[in-house]
């Protein structure tokens, strides 16, 4: 934090008096000189006070006046040039004027949202193709994701829904962490995405996606972690709670968006179990993926590209998380 020092105080006045008049000679001239000396001395002292740069002189008075003006005009030390409600370091001010964090059913809870893919992945093929350990084997660090036929990228969709979801959850009092906000050129890798949720000690983690299968395949589905144990992967403690999280999200998502469970997998339940996703295998926190629809189907794509529908999608996911966490 930067602090602006106020002007230094003037130096202390010297304790030494001006040279005293010399009275050693015993003569009438000395007596006369002695009579005149106090008057001269007083005049000399007045001149010194009026002209010297020391305390009380013009420089000192000017300095004091400037300091007084500055103290009235300038904000308190440490907050000079700061924007209202923001400290010099850029963090939110802790003053009483700052808005308090909203209280709600998720107060004290942490939710990690993982926007699938990254719009920059298309330009970083060699980086995202790097193999990483997912416990049961090795897999690409990340993938590009899919697009609609008109070119709307899955990574754009997932980030938009994730931000809407964050807003909805924060309004319920949750602490929300996003694994990224397209603030990096590519990635993060799937193992890092899992690690972010683990290190945040998240009460729930949701990875947001959209599918890219052939036209005619419609609807959403939620992917749950399978029972996996191998290498760094051990899902034994999260399989049960992850299923509950997934069921809550599926029910609320269908009700809020009006979308039906996928017609091409999951037997109409909207729930699918997989053991080949590093983001699930390496998680130690309850976690699911949601594929919100099929970007390659024209009817689903019309929904996915609609801001109003994306808002409903975020609300449905949020309601599922609130239900899972007991809100």
In contact, 233 and 275? CB cutoff 8 Å: no
Q: What is the DSSP string of 61-104?
A: HHHHHHHHHHHHHSPPTT-TTPPTTB-TTSSBP-STTSPPPPP-
Q: What is the DSSP string of 170-212?
A: HTTT-EEEES--S-SSS---HHHHHHHHHHTT-SEEEEEEEE-
Token pair recorded at residue 203: 């009460």
| Separation of CA 44 from chain center | 66
Torsion of CA 65, 66, 72, 76, to 10 degrees: -130
Question: Which helix (H) or strand (E) element contains residue 111?
Answer: strand 110-115
Residues in the chain: 327
User: CA distances (Å), 169 to each of 13, 25, 148, 156, 251, in order?
Assistant: 63, 95, 28, 20, 18
- Whether 291 is catalytic is yes
Question: Which helix (H) or strand (E) element contains residue 273?
Answer: strand 271-274
Pick the catalytic residue from 154, 156, 247, 291. Answer: 291
| Separation of CA 133 from chain center | 29
Residues that are catalytic: 291
């Amino acid at each position: 934090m930067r602090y602006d020092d106020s002007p230094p105080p003037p130096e202390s006045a010297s304790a030494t008096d001006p040279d005293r008049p010399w009275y050693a000679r015993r003569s009438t001239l000395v007596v006369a000189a002695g009579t005149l000396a106090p008057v001269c001395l007083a005049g000399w002292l007045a001149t010194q006070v009026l002209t010297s740069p020391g305390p009380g002189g013009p420089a000192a008075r000017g300095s004091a006046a400037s300091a007084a003006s500055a103290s009235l005009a300038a904000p308190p030390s440490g907050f000079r040039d700061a924007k209202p409600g923001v400290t010099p370091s850029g963090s939110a001010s802790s003053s009483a004027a700052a808005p308090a964090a909203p209280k709600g059913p998720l107060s004290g809870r942490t939710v990690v949202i993982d926007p699938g893919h990254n719009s920059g992945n298309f330009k970083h093929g060699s980086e995202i193709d790097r193999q990483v350990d997912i416990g049961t084997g090795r897999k690409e660090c990340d993938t590009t994701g899919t697009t609609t036929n008109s070119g709307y990228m899955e990574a754009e969709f997932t980030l938009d829904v994730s931000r809407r979801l964050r807003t909805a959850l924060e309004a319920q009092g949750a602490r929300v962490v996003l694994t990224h906000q397209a603030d990096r050129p590519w990635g993060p890798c799937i193992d890092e995405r899992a690690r972010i949720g683990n290190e945040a000690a998240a009460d729930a983690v949701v990875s947001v996606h959209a599918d890219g299968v052939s036209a005619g395949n419609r609807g959403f589905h939620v992917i749950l972690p399978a029972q996996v144990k191998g290498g760094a992967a051990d899902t034994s403690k999260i399989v049960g709670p992850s299923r509950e999280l997934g069921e809550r999200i599926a029910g609320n998502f269908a009700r809020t968006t009006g979308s039906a469970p996928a017609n091409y997998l999951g037997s109409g339940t909207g729930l699918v179990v997989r053991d080949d996703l590093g983001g699930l295998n390496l998680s130690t926190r309850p976690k699911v993926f949601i594929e919100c629809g099929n970007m390659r189907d024209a009817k689903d794509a019309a929904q996915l590209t609609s801001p109003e529908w994306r808002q409903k999608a975020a609300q449905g996911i949020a309601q599922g998380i609130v239900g899972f966490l007991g809100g």
